[in-house]
Structure 1
Amino acid sequence: MIKKLILFLALFPFVLTAQDATTATDTIVKNDFSASKYHFKLKQVIIPSTLIAYGVIGLNNDDIKRLNADVRDEVLRNEHKERTIDDVTRFVPMLSVYALNLVGVEGEHNFKDRTIILTTSLLITFTTVRSLKAMTDVQRPDITAYNSFPSGHTATAFAGAEFLLQEYKDKSIWYGISGYVVATGTGLMRIYNNRHWLTDVAAGAGIGILSTKIAYWVYPFLKNRIFKDKKGEKQITAMVMPFYNGEQFGGGMVVRF
């Protein structure tokens, strides 16, 4: 059972990115909000909703709790050192969007617009994760705290992975797949480090993906009503990007003149 689960997790990025493969050839015209990514479609929420539902059901389901324990026991069966790479990898997918633009590989949106989308996604992710941690009060597998559900690291990583996918899937679907590989690895490392249960990671992944999808859905409203450019005026872009790692929260500011 555990080996099958590990195999599924290894293929997880390909399953997730496949849902957007059919629209990979769509082209986006600047300020044209007719593309599918800006409109709610039921099929877009099936996978993230399923992941969130699995995590929530697992809070009170004995069978899923036993699976959580089995996965934890399998991981801890052999001695291993805790790795902190997941503290870094959770940010890799989202930062890759900016890095690719810096080296000349342009995504779907300019600096200002993609930062609006990312900030919206992170705000939704942070608020959701923070609220659920306070409401559920689940003890971590390493018994250090009662804020295990859901995984903040995983939510941040998958929010970034979906962001990378949406910005670059028209260039190549492999950008999105690579982001999801990193995000999946981040979730697995949270389990490996005995910081989260499987259900925490599953719910975190769903929250991150759904948060970014919501950010794209509300982007046309934000663009037209709140961040609308005024012709003839020089624009100064300043965006605050919050983060939450499951224990601390903070933020960073980017200013572009």
Structure 2
Amino acid sequence: MMKIQLFIVSSLLTLCTFGQSKNPDSLSFNKELKFKYEALIIPSVLIGYGVIGLESHTLKDINSDTKNEINEHIDKKFTIDDFSQYSAFLSVYALNSAGVKGKNNFKDRTIILASAYLIMGTTVNVIKMTGNEMRPDGTSNNSFPSGHTATAFMGAEFLYQEYKDVSVWYGISGYLVAAGTGFFRMYNDRHWFSDVAAGAGIGILSTKIAYWLHPVISKKIFKKKENLNGMVLPVYNGREYGLAMAVSF
């Protein structure tokens, strides 16, 4: 199974290399967000740690030790992670609604967010379906990687990219909430530390890829849709959490 996970991760990283092409029709025409290999270091390390943790006895011991340490201090479960995973990228829309303008308009940031969500969601779900990692609470064998954490860090990177030129503290706050989401996934006995690490890396990398792909997607698919407005809101039907988007053309 580890070979499958490595293949999926390497395919995700391969997407990033397109930004270095010298073809004028490639991603290299995006002069504002040029591809930088150093941007891959942190997400690659996080994903690598998680993948290696599937087989490494040393990292498995760290998983168990972390679980035991957290369980010693648990009084009851908190499901705040079901909500906090969405808070960072929803903050982008809230800040724009409040008049704090970010890097992109509604159309462009929504295209970027949708692309990041698609990349992240597809990657996480394919790995979960091809893996066989039991959750700490023993309820299912799709523990690796953490989808909640991936969503949270995808949103944190999105918030950082949109508002880093306004104030770096927006991005820092987003990453703090994302880290908290990962912690509560372990606190609630739903994920191992290596699951959370891999999820964080996938989330960050998915957003970076979405920004690098945005010029192509915008040019090829949405070039005629200049007037695009709407809103994104969290929804809950009594059993499941999700997102609803209302868009006007």
- Relative to the length of structure 2, the TM-score reads 0.82
Sort the Cα spacing of 1:148 and 1:161 in 2 relative to 1 into closer, same or farther, 3 A: same
Sort the Cα spacing of 1:210 and 1:79 in 2 relative to 1 into closer, same or farther, 3 A: closer
TM-superposition CA deviations, 1:126-161 (whole Å, max 9, x none): 000001101112100000111100000000000000
Pairwise CA distance, 1:252: 2.6
Q: Map 1:68-83; keep pairs closer than 5 Å.
A: 68-83=63-78
Q: Determine whether 1:34 maps to 2:26.
A: no
Which residue number corresponds to residue 56 of structure 1? Answer: 51
Pairwise CA distance, 1:56: 0.1
8 Å contact 1:115–1:239 — kept in the other structure?
no
Which residue number corresponds to residue 246 of structure 2? Answer: 254
Which residue number corresponds to residue 99 of structure 2? Answer: 104
Sort the Cα spacing of 1:79 and 1:165 in 2 relative to 1 into closer, same or farther, 3 A: closer
In the comparison of the two structures, how many residue pairs are matched?
Answer: 217
Pairwise CA distance, 1:225: 1.1
Runs of 4+ residues deviating >2 angstroms: 234-243, 248-254
Q: Map 1:172-211; keep pairs closer than 5 Å.
A: 172-211=167-206
Which amino acid letter does the alignment assign opposite residue 184 of structure 2? M
Q: Determine whether 1:115 maps to 2:120.
A: no
- Secondary structure of the residue aligned to 1:145 is coil
Structure 2's unaligned 5+ residue stretches are 1-28
Q: Determine whether 1:217 maps to 2:209.
A: no
Q: Determine whether 1:86 maps to 2:96.
A: no
8 Å contact 2:106–2:230 — kept in the other structure?
no
Distance 2:112 2:40 in 1: 18
Distance 1:249 1:124 in 2: 20
Which amino acid letter does the alignment assign opposite residue 235 of structure 1? N
Distance 1:92 1:119 in 2: 16
Distance 1:240 1:103 in 2: 14
Distance 1:96 1:206 in 2: 21
